[in-house]
Structure 1
């Protein structure tokens, strides 16, 4: 990643409150969540819990939606590979149903697009994504071995960028990569 100037846009009373955006990196074993306030965590499940894993993820996402009332959810899109897509697809179904019930519009960003936005390379590994978060905002993810929290954090950042409320400055070439994402049509009041 190239060197960049780190700035945080000022939010004034005239501009109104920041949008509440949640980032979700969905996985059956370890779902990464970035809440609207920037807090990140993982929803870890065990294979021994079988289909209850889906219920655990659903209930956790439901609580997050009820508590934080996001304006937008930004979700890493399903993987292309068939083996992963089937398992992750079950998690997507549960979470998308919760988002629909809560009337939270959702955006989908392919993993390669998210990596190119964050680290300027569509095949960036977990370390490069974490390094990019540190360079952009001084954010560290010390307990995030799989990168789930980091990815969720970048998904939230992408949502803010798309909403025209960037959390920090990135080169235009990286920001432009978000045009490949699937963004919702938001109601007039939301923009």
Structure 2
């Protein structure tokens, strides 16, 4: 199996009789305790882990992402792109070690699965969603409600929603309108050159 290149994956374009099919984007807001997922159909969920499980939490997270990716990486329900948030700046000690462990486990699984992925800096995501690089969790949730009428069980789901929205927007399939200045923030991201559309 060929390992996909992070920034130039070779993913065949998928089309239907009516033209390109909708892009299937998975948004992941990773953490060791409660990662947020926004599935390709737009539904959100949180994967709760328990510290008593130790490193087995990594397997619980990866197993849930496996389900979200679809059963067959080359089938009609496969995920075209995974959009993840980079580790938040300022984390220190055990927290930064934990987030890097989660990212490592998830990225390895995505490579095994052949799923192209991209990382978005937290400040870029905030600016895309709200127009402000310093937006807090409440501002992110309010922006999601304003643009889509969506509410979420927690801020992890909200961030995953915005990550998926960024991927869809960049590849020309936005689910809602945003000001041009906010959309232009996505230029800072190193997007894969092509994904199935």
Task: Provide TM-score, normalisation by structure 2.
Answer: 0.84
Match of 1:150 in 2: 158
Q: How many residues align?
A: 175
Match of 1:87 in 2: 98
Matched, 1:72 2:81: yes
Asked if the contact 1:77/1:108 (under 8 Å) is kept, the reply is yes
Q: Which of 153, 163, 169 in structure 2 is aligned with 1:161?
A: 169
Secondary structure of the structure 1 residue equivalent to 2:70: helix
Unaligned stretches of 5+ residues in structure 1 = 1-11
Write out the 4+ residue segments of structure 1 that deviate beyond 4 Å after TM superposition: none
Matched, 1:51 2:55: yes
Asked if the contact 1:34/1:153 (under 8 Å) is kept, the reply is yes
Q: Which of 166, 169, 185 in structure 1 is aligned with 2:193?
A: 185
Asked if the contact 1:24/1:155 (under 8 Å) is kept, the reply is yes
RMSD after superposition: 1.6
Structure 1, residues 37-92: CA drift from partner, whole Å, max 9, x if none? Answer: 00000011111111111111011111211345210000001223352332101000
Task: Provide TM-score, normalisation by structure 1.
Answer: 0.86
Matched, 1:35 2:33: no
Q: Which of 119, 123, 138 in structure 1 is aligned with 2:149?
A: 138
Unaligned stretches of 5+ residues in structure 2 = 1-15, 72-76
Q: 1: distance between equivalents of 2:193 and 2:114?
A: 13
